[in-house]
Amino acid sequence: MSDAEIFRRLANLLEEGRPAALCTLIEKRGSAPRGVGAKMIVDSDGDSYGTIGGGDMERRIVKEALEAIKEGRPRALNFALGVEPREGVIPVESRCGGEVRVFIDVLRPEPKLIIIGSGHVAKPLATIADIVGLETIVVDDAETATAERFPKVKELRTGPFERELEDVEVRPSDFVAIVHGDERHELEALRRMLGKTGYIGLLGSRGKAEAHRRRLMEMGFSEEDVRRIHAPIGLDIGATTPEEIAISIMAEIIRERRRGPHKAS
């Protein structure tokens, strides 16, 4: 697999909203299967593209790459290929007789924020999302869903509600904030969004959230699925005004984003 093919695959993974690790052989002493600059990418499912040398070393690299993706932090590893390892060097089965150093870099897709609803909280939430650099999509068929209220969003989807929920692109790396207020619309949004992304937040009381969870389980969703819903959405900072609530929601999204990639069910 050529470098160009590897980077095309990497770009496709990021476009799909999936994190990946780029593994590069950066140093070689003695004999090794590949030379300096050899590359391999590992996706979040553990599938690899390209090769750094195969065998026991590559299996260890895939394992380390998955841990790096989970932690969201790069790492460098040294491997002894069938020779006595120095301190801090990982021994692997090989007849090469050399030593290599591999750098594992973690690349994450840029997430989007999908705001479902266009009311009092949605407006300041879209404004704050723009300030922190999140591309935003607003989905609602209400009269409040206008370009004048949401001048900086990437997309404003105002067609029939259920059709827009079906058509909007939601990737595993994206964030969904349901701030609609109408329980029928909320339940429909939850039903359509569960399983598409790892972060779904719902505005409202704990009682309403539990009622939605029970209804979703009656529809066939598992308890594990519905427990992934962040409800009430936002960090508990005592927020009361729409602007304060929007800040608490964005604070939670930032926290989740910095923790590392989240997964859909």
Do 230 and 142 sit in the same domain of this protein? yes
Question: 142 with 238, same domain?
Answer: yes
Q: Which domain holds residue 142?
A: 112-259
Of the two residues 88 and 23, the one the predictor is more confident about is 23
| Residue where one domain finishes, among candidates 63, 86, 107 | 107
**At residue 85, does pLDDT exceed 80?**
no
pLDDT of residue 262: 56
138 & 199 share domain: yes
Predicted confidence at residue 146, as pLDDT, reads 96
Q: Say if 120 falls within a structural domain.
A: yes
- Asked if residue 48 belongs to a domain, the reply is yes
How many distinct structural domains can be found in the chain?
A: 2
Same domain, 80 and 134: no
State yes or no: pLDDT of 84 exceeds 70: yes
Integer Cα distance of 40 and 52 in angstroms = 6
In a domain, 265, yes or no: no
Residue 176 sits in the same domain as residue 212: yes
pLDDT digits (tens, 9 = 90+) for 174-208: 999 999 989 999 999 999 999 888 899 999 999 99
- What Å distances lie between residue 253 and 5, 97, 212, 256, CA to CA? 34, 48, 21, 5
pLDDT of amino acid 263: 55
Residue 98 pLDDT exceeds 90: no
Q: What is the pLDDT of residue 177?
A: 98
Distances (CA, A) of 72 to 24, 44, 68, 82: 17, 11, 6, 31
> Is 83 found in the same domain as 163?
no
At 19-74, the pLDDT tens digits run 999 999 999 988 888 899 999 999 999 999 999 887 888 899 999 999 999 888 89
My answer on whether omega of the bond before 232 falls inside 30° of 0, hence cis, is yes
Each residue's pLDDT tens digit, 105-159 = 999 888 999 999 999 999 999 999 999 999 999 999 999 999 999 999 999 999 9
| 100 and 119 both lie in a single domain | no
**pLDDT of 261 over the 70 cut:** no
The domain boundary residue, chosen from 87, 107, 127: 107
pLDDT at residue 265 is higher than 50: no
Claim to verify: residue 55 and residue 27 sit in the same structural domain? yes
> Does residue 264 lie within any of the structural domains?
no
Q: Is 62 within a domain?
A: yes
Per residue in 207-235, pLDDT (tens digit) is 999 999 999 999 999 998 899 899 999 99
DSSP result, 220-235: T--HHHHHTEESS-S-
Q: Which of 107, 142, 168 delimits the end of a domain?
A: 107
